[in-house]
Amino acid sequence: MKIFYSEEHRKHYPPFEVFDGGKRVPYYENPDRMDKILSALKKTDWAEFIIPVDFGLAPIYATHDEGYIQFLASAWTEWLTSDPEIAAAPEQNAFLPATFALRRMPRVPSTLLGKAGYYMMDLSACIVGATYEAALASANCALSAAQEAVSSQRSAFGLCRPPGHHAGKDYAGGYCFINNASVAANWLSAKGKVALLDIDYHAGNGTQDIFYERDDVLTISIHGDPDYEYPHYIGFADETGAGAGLGFHKNFPLPKDTDDEGYLSALDEAITMIKNFAPNYLILSAGMDTFKDDPLGTFKVTREGFSKIGQKIADLNLPTVIIMEGGYANEALGTNVVTLLENFK
Give catalytic residues, as residue numbers. 166
Q: What DSSP line would sit under 205-273, residue for residue?
A: HHHHHHHTT-SSEEEEEEEE-TTTSTT-SS--TT----GGGTTSEEEEEE-TT-BHHHHHHHHHHHHHH
Other CB atoms within a 10 A radius of the CB of residue 21 amount to: 5
Q: Residues of 153-172 as b/e, b for ≥16 C-beta within 10 angstroms? A: eebbbbbbbbbbbbbbebbb
- Return all residues near 221 (Cβ < 8 A) that are at least 6 apart: 197, 198, 200, 203, 204, 207, 208, 235, 250, 251, 252
DSSP for 22-67 reads G-EE--SS-HHHHHHHHHHHHTSSS-EEEPPP---SHHHHTTS-HH
Residues in CB range of 72: below 8 A, 6 or more apart: 119, 127, 131, 132, 135, 172, 177, 178
H or E segment at 116?
helix 112-119
> With left for phi above 0 and alpha for psi between -120 and 50, is residue 241 left, alpha or beta?
left
For residue 15, cis peptide bond before it (omega within 30 degrees of 0):
no
Q: Among residues 166, 222, 141, which one has the least CA distance to residue 29?
A: 166
Cα 246 off chain centre by = 23
Residue 170 CA to its chain's centroid (Å): 15
Q: Which of 181, 140, 125 has its CA nearest to residue 8?
A: 140
